[in-house]
């Protein structure tokens, strides 16, 4: 199984272990690794920490990123760097910083170095993050349709799980309790070792609908 498939399948423990090992190799004097590869590893490690709910570690990794190439790849890595920082800020309740970061993402996705398909992908990511920021400010208008569309188009379990968890929060806010329970149940049953499973279980508990989901094997 490819390492990235671990993430796609919500095996965040194994995915984190793999990228922590890659990160150690990048810092070792034994291996010669390019700056671009180091940035790539750091971005994936920060993603692992974010989706596992380890926000402090994610912030520390992102703070250590120093290099982006001047080419198209560099622009893409910068976009994902700010995307991950945006999520970090949202999850740690730094709303103003998240807003500023979203502005940087908007500028980057307009780069002439990007291909049309990449701009379309980044535009969709930007739209989702814009709605998450909106929700943090208490405005849930138009959010349901954005995340329902994102869920339908997602081809990875981690994406489907995170979208269902977000939809659960939206349904709950709108008083659609049955829909919220279904969304949280999906996230809990399919979330593997991700933070979305943990948070979905907490939401179901609060709704008086506790769900028993067996613990994932510990890979640590």
Looking at residues 175-187, what average pLDDT do you find?
A: 98
| pLDDT tens digits, 37-49 | 999 999 999 999 9
| pLDDT tens digits, 134-163 | 999 999 999 999 999 999 999 999 999 999
Q: Is the dihedral of CA 173, 179, 181, 183 positive or negative?
A: negative
The reply to whether 76 falls in a domain is: no
Task: Please tell me the total count of domains within the chain.
Answer: 1
The reply to whether 156 falls in a domain is: yes
Question: By CB neighbour count within 10 A (0-12 exposed, 13-18 middle, 19+ buried), where does 30 fall?
Answer: exposed
Distance between CA atoms of 143 and 131, rounded to whole angstroms?
6
The reply to whether 128 falls in a domain is: no
The reply to whether 182 falls in a domain is: yes
Is pLDDT at 217 greater than 60 in this prediction? no
CA atoms within 13 A on the CB side of 189: 9
The reply to whether 204 falls in a domain is: yes
Domain membership of residue 161 as a residue range: 140-220
Residue 181's pLDDT band, with cuts at 50, 70 and 90, is very high
**Averaged pLDDT score across all residues of the chain:** 95
The reply to whether 60 falls in a domain is: no
Distance between CA atoms of 36 and 41, rounded to whole angstroms?
9
Is pLDDT at 108 greater than 90 in this prediction? yes
The reply to whether 117 falls in a domain is: no
The reply to whether 4 falls in a domain is: no
């Amino acid at each position: 199984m490819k390492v990235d498939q671990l993430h796609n399948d919500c095996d965040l423990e194994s995915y984190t272990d793999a990228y922590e090992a890659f990160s150690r190799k990048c810092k070792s004097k034994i291996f010669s690794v390019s700056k671009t590869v180091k940035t790539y590893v750091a971005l994936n490690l920060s993603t692992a920490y974010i989706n596992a709910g380890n926000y402090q570690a994610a912030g520390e990794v992102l703070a250590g990123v120093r290099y982006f190439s001047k080419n198209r790849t560099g622009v893409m890595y910068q976009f994902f760097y700010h995307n991950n920082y945006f999520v970090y800020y949202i999850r740690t309740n730094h709303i103003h910083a998240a807003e500023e970061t979203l502005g940087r993402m908007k500028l980057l996705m307009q780069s002439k170095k990007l291909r049309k398909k990449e701009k379309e992908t980044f535009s969709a990511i930007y739209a989702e993050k814009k709605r998450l920021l909106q929700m943090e400010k208490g405005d849930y208008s138009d959010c349901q349709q954005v995340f329902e569309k994102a869920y339908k188009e997602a081809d990875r379990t981690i994406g489907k799980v995170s979208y269902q968890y977000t939809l659960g929060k939206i349904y709950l806010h709108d008083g659609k309790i049955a829909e919220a329970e279904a969304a949280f149940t999906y996230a809990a049953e399919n979330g593997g070792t991700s933070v979305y499973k943990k948070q979905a279980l907490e939401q179901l508990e609060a709704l008086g609908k506790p769900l028993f989901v067996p613990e994932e094997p510990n890979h640590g």
